[in-house]
């Protein structure tokens, strides 16, 4: 089964505010973009992923992610994360009605294609399924089988909200790279220990040099 992934990217100038203790205002947009680039590149390298649709209104993010091979869907609703994801899923399914769709966070810089393959393969067993984040309260991936609405409920306590919505929680080991999103400096250090993609590594190296 070949999946289409919907990846939301908020305007870079407003992204990753919780990393302010690690990266200043001038660096955070580039760091957020690097996260998204490494996430999208790894997703496109996954053998069970047919394509990636990035939902964004940020011109720089759209340009750079399209250069990697992602499609870009303008965030027409402008109503926040869940509205953007629902819109992106509707757009890709209008073109290909029979596809399975999964929402994937854009801040998974350590993402490994082999681990994403394991998660998506497990998700094929259920009408809707999700993977909790490393912190245990959020969600990094929400999947919907062909003909099923994505019905995203990301945000605070999304693990509980997705479970309450009827989505099956995927309980998998050895998929740390798919669970490790980055919101804080501690998250970034954990991702770096897992091994991040080249763009995140380059920006992080500049941060470490500046902090010496």
Q: Cβ contacts of residue 187 below 8 Å, gap of 6+?
A: 134, 180, 181
158 annotated ligand binder: yes
Read off the pLDDT band of 209 (50, 70, 90): low
- The share of the chain scoring above pLDDT 70, in percent, equals 98
In this structure, whether the domain defined by 3-210 belongs to CATH 3.90.550.10 is answered with yes
Environment class of residue 25 by beta-carbon count within 10 Å: exposed (0-12), middle (13-18) or buried (19+)?
exposed
Query: Do 174 and 154 touch, CB atoms closer than 8 A?
Result: no
147 annotated ligand binder: no
| Range with the poorest average pLDDT among 32-36, 58-62, 68-72, 207-211 | 207-211
17 annotated ligand binder: no
The phi, psi pair for 51, rounded to 5°, reads: -165, 170
Q: Rounded to 5 degrees, what angle do the CA atoms 24, 27, 33 make?
A: 135
Q: State pTM to two decimals.
A: 0.96
| Rounded Cα gap, residues 169 and 185, in angstroms | 27
Looking at residues 126-141, what average pLDDT do you find?
98
- Tell me what pLDDT residue 62 has: 98
Token pair 């992602």: residue: 70
| Rounded Cα gap, residues 196 and 35, in angstroms | 9
- Tell me what pLDDT residue 86 has: 98
Token pair 């964004």: residue: 56
Read off the pLDDT band of 212 (50, 70, 90): very low
Looking at residues 3-29, what average pLDDT do you find?
90
Residues pairing with 129 in the sheet: 143, 168
- Mean pLDDT taken over the chain: 95
- Tell me what pLDDT residue 160 has: 98
Query: Over the stretch 105-120, which tens digit does the pLDDT of each residue have?
Result: 999 999 999 999 999 9
């Amino acid at each position: 089964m070949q999946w289409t992934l919907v990846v939301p990217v908020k305007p870079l100038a407003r992204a990753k505010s919780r990393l302010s203790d690690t990266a200043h205002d001038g660096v955070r947009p580039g760091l957020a973009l690097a996260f998204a680039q490494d996430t999208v590149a790894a997703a496109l390298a996954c053998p069970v992923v047919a394509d990636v649709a990035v939902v964004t209104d940020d011109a720089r993010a759209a340009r750079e992610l399209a250069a990697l091979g992602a499609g870009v869907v303008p965030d027409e609703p402008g109503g926040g994360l869940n509205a953007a994801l629902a819109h992106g899923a509707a757009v890709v399914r209008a073109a290909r009605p029979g596809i399975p769709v999964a929402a994937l966070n854009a801040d998974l810089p350590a993402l490994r294609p082999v681990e994403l393959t394991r998660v998506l393969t497990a998700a094929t067993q259920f009408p809707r399924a999700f993977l909790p984040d490393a912190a245990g309260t959020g969600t990094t991936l929400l999947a919907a089988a062909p003909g099923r609405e994505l019905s995203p409920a990301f945000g605070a306590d999304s693990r509980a909200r997705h479970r309450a919505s009827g989505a099956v929680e995927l309980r998998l080991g050895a998929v740390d790279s798919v669970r490790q999103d980055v919101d804080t400096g501690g998250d970034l250090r954990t991702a770096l220990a897992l091994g991040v993609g080249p763009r995140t590594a380059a920006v992080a190296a500049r941060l470490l040099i500046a902090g010496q």
